[in-house]
Chains A and B, each alone.
Chain A
Amino acid sequence: MTFLERVLERITERFSEDLVAVDRGGQLPVLLVTRERAVDVLSLLRREFDFESLMSETAADKTDRIVMIYHIYSTPNRQKLVLKADLPRENPEIGTAEGVWRAANWYEREIYDLFGVTFIGHSDLHRILNPPDWEGHPLLKDYQPAEEYHGMEIER
């Protein structure tokens, strides 16, 4: 059994109800999980399967929902994996992955800044790219900038 197959078998056995889908069709295997269990899945992957590298954590606004996307990598096993979790737009909250990978700290600050997703348990959640007194979350599809910022007209 390959490493990936072992991983998928273990995840399916441990998180049967929360594992919504497994997509082996694309370039990378994608696991779609519920948002309540996303951090537990990530934690298990790190502890038991040596996914020591969080390559990237990002989000996408799919109009009816916001998707959290995690790309993780296991160096000893040379395996990349993608984890996705859907968040409802009215209440985009999810647990923080900071306890699993410290790198998630800045990734989650960026996602908070640009999408407005709040990360429960994050140690230091505030804007990282935009100025601290910026209004709105720019990468949401329905974002409208304010008229001006400190006397400068915001033009698009």
Chain B
Amino acid sequence: MGLLENRLPEHPILTKMDSLTLRWGLRSSLWYMLFATACCGIELMQTGMSRYDLDRFGMLPRATPRQSDLMIVAGTITYKMALRVRRLYEQMPEPKYVISMGSCANSGGGFIHSYSVLNGIDKVIPVDVYVPGCPPRPEALIEGCLKLMEKIKGQPRLIKAEEASR
């Protein structure tokens, strides 16, 4: 993991274990920012509630980007809002991940021809997992989260290479 790598660059066991432990810790407790603009937000809230329960995966909602690992962009994003989404993304500390939830966040959705709707949140922030649906069922969102956890498991390092160089 980035933190300890610079201090123990040559130690094979410690850096490997450290990376494994930290990756396991991160993917087992992805705290997501409660970010919802439209209907997908309702499904996001429900996925966090008792019937579908994201908490059993260690995922809790946080109100502030400063304390979250994950931003689930749920809902239509207008050009007006996109500037704020970018700002919120930049306020999240590394390592951070983004799940694009629903058609509107993936590609503009039903509002793709509108003058005011951004056609996909990946035009302003990097997205790790796309969850299709309008809205995606809670089970679909959970699958998206599990996919993200697998992605984190498969990462050799926690900080993504292209971001570490910025």
Contact = CB atoms under 8 A, between A and B. Distances in A.
Asked if A pairs with B, the answer is yes
B4 interface: no
B63 interface: no
Majority-rule SS of A interface residues: loop
B52 interface: no
Contacts of B79: 131, 149-150, 152, 154
B88 to A, nearest CB: 15
Interface residues of B, number: 14
| Interface size class, chain A | 10 to 19
B113 A156 contact: yes
B116 A152 contact: no
Contacts of B119: 155
A152 B119 CA distance: 10
A143 B83 CA distance: 23
Contacts of A130: 80, 116
B82 interface: yes
Interface of A: 129-131, 138, 143, 145, 149-150, 152-156
B115 A154 contact: yes
A133 to B, nearest CB: 10
Given A130-B80, A150-B79, A154-B79, A138 B118 contact: no
B151 interface: no
Nearest to A146: B115
B123 interface: yes
Interface string B104-121: 000010001111101100
A150 B123 CA distance: 12
Given A152-B123, A152-B124, A131 B115 contact: no
Closest 9 CB pairs between A and B? A131-B80, A149-B79, A145-B115, A138-B115, A155-B119, A156-B113, A152-B79, A150-B83, A152-B82
Max count, chain B CB within 10 A of own CB: residue among A138, A143, A150: A150
Interface in B20-75: none
Contacts of A153: 123
A15 B82 CA distance: 50
